[in-house]
Structure 1
Amino acid sequence: MSDGWEESAAAWIADMGDAGDFGRRFVMDAPMMARVRLRPWRRALDVGCGEGRFCRMMKTEGVEAVGIDPARSLIDQARALDPQGDYRVEAAEALSFGDGAFDLIVSYLSLIDIPDARAAISEMARVLAPGGTLLIANLNGFNTAGDALDLGWTTLADGRRAHAMDHYLEERSAWISWRGIRIRNWHRPLSTYMGLLLEQGLVLTHFAEPAARGGDPARTAHYNRAPWFLMMEWRKPDSGNQPGS
């Protein structure tokens, strides 16, 4: 069954442009890049790289990045925009790389698109080198548990805008459509992601719910009424420092 990404690739590429959408450009790019700049990385993997935008951003910081995505049309665009880059058609649930191949793995708003989060997180942990970092940006579960089209926002009978959600603890998928894009997103409570990451023996070293900065003031204010995104950084313990060792 299609998840909509191949069919939506052209509309996604047109919508994203080179700068990215509002949430990436004015909310998540700066804090994500700040974490990337904390140390030199030997080799990075961008899981769910789409058209390769964040790979290209890391490349400007001197990071050798490999991008993978299951949508061939998005990988074709990534290769066209960065002919010297390394972009591959792969699913996160079955990575072709050897154990410990990367010291930085990035999942930038891609976990919500992956049907089998357990398999994907297990694979990311496997190819992460001891001492390496898994950097995750994801939609906040309070949003994905709300109305898929408006990310939880609703208008009350008295005209006030409020953030609503339902069935937060139930893992489920929903189809979301905007500007010619129609894709399947997954809602999972934060506890599900935390549990899967902890199962892999990873250690949480950073957590944030970044605020919007810059851009249209009205839109920035709307984004900052409730946290749209979250960011987590997890470290894989060194071989001689595994939990319980």
Structure 2
Amino acid sequence: MSDGWEDSADAWVASQGEEGDFGRRWVMDAPMLERVRRRPYVRALDVGCGEGRFCRMLAGEGIAAVGIDPTVALIDHARRLDPGGDYRVEAAEAIGFDGGAFDLVISYLSLIDIPDVATAIREMTRVLAPGGTLLIANLAGYNSAADAHGLGWVTLADGRRVHAMDDYLEERTAWIEWRGIRIRNWHRPLGAYMTPLLEQGLTLTHFAEPPAHGGDPARQALYNRAPWFLLMEWQKPRAGSSSGPTGRA
């Protein structure tokens, strides 16, 4: 079954440009790069890289980045925008690299597009070198449980604008549409991500719900009234060490 990405690729690229949409440019780019700059990473894998915008940002930091995405049209765009980059048509659930190939693996707002997230997390962990970092930005479950077409905002009888959600614990998909884009996203409660990450023996080293820090004031206020995104940094234990009761290394 189609997830809409092939048909929406051109509209997606047009919506992002080089600076990204509001959420990337004014909310997530800065904290993501701040985490990347904390360590001297050499080789990164961007899982669900889309048109390759963050791969290009990683290259600007001196990191050799490989981008993978299952959408052929998006990878074609990435290659045109960055002819010297390394972009491959691959699904997160079947990453075509040897174990331990990367010291940094990134999922930048891609987990919500992945059907089998537990397998994807297992694959991302497999290709991560011991001591390496898995850096995740994701749409907050509070947000994805809301009506995507109204961005969760409703008007009460007294005129107040509030953010509403429902069925938070129910894992489900929904079609969302904006600016000529029509794609299928997954809503999952936070535990649906935390459990497989912990089962891989990873250690959570950073968690944040970043606020908007610029851009249009009205949109900034909207993004800061409800938790829009979350950021997680996980570390894979070094060889010979153990992590919790599973003893995985």
Distance 1:159 1:204 in 2: 41
Distance 1:174 1:91 in 2: 20
In structure 2, the residue matched to 1:102 is 102
The Cα of 1:166 is off from its aligned counterpart by 0.7
In structure 2, the residue matched to 1:117 is 117
Cα deviations by residue, 1:13-40 (Å, 9 ceiling, x for unpaired): 1111111000000000000000111111
- Greater mean alpha carbon deviation, residues 60-69 or residues 158-167: 158-167
Distance 1:200 1:23 in 2: 29
| 1:110-189 paired onto structure 2 within 5 Å | 110-189=110-189
In structure 1, the residue matched to 2:60 is 60
Cα deviations by residue, 1:55-111 (Å, 9 ceiling, x for unpaired): 000100000000000111111111111111100000000011001111100000000
Gaps of 5+ in 2: none
In structure 2, the residue matched to 1:201 is 201
Is 1:156–1:162's contact at 8 Å kept on the other side of the alignment?
yes
Distance 1:169 1:151 in 2: 19
Distance 1:185 1:133 in 2: 25
SS at match of 1:239: coil
Cα deviations by residue, 1:188-211 (Å, 9 ceiling, x for unpaired): 000110011001000000000000
SS at match of 2:177: strand
In structure 1, the residue matched to 2:216 is 216
Amino acid at match of 1:206: H
In structure 2, the residue matched to 1:18 is 18
Distance 1:143 1:122 in 2: 25
Amino acid at match of 2:122: S
Cα deviations by residue, 1:134-165 (Å, 9 ceiling, x for unpaired): 00000000000110123322111222111111
SS at match of 2:105: strand
Amino acid at match of 1:63: I
Amino acid at match of 2:132: G
Distance 2:173 2:86 in 1: 31
The Cα of 1:42 is off from its aligned counterpart by 1.9
Runs of 4+ in structure 1 deviating by more than 4 angstroms, as ranges, are: none
In structure 2, the residue matched to 1:93 is 93
Distance 2:131 2:242 in 1: 10
Distance 2:150 2:122 in 1: 31
Distance 1:219 1:120 in 2: 33
In structure 1, the residue matched to 2:230 is 230
Distance 2:155 2:113 in 1: 27
SS at match of 2:175: strand
Distance 1:151 1:233 in 2: 27
Q: TM-score, normalised by structure 1?
A: 0.98
| CA-atom RMSD in angstroms | 0.8
Amino acid at match of 1:2: S
- Greater mean alpha carbon deviation, residues 150-159 or residues 170-179: 150-159
Q: TM-score, normalised by structure 2?
A: 0.97
The Cα of 1:133 is off from its aligned counterpart by 0.3
Cα deviations by residue, 1:100-128 (Å, 9 ceiling, x for unpaired): 11110000000000011011001001111
SS at match of 1:170: coil
SS at match of 2:149: coil
Tell me how many residue pairs correspond in the alignment.
245
| 1:37-76 paired onto structure 2 within 5 Å | 37-76=37-76
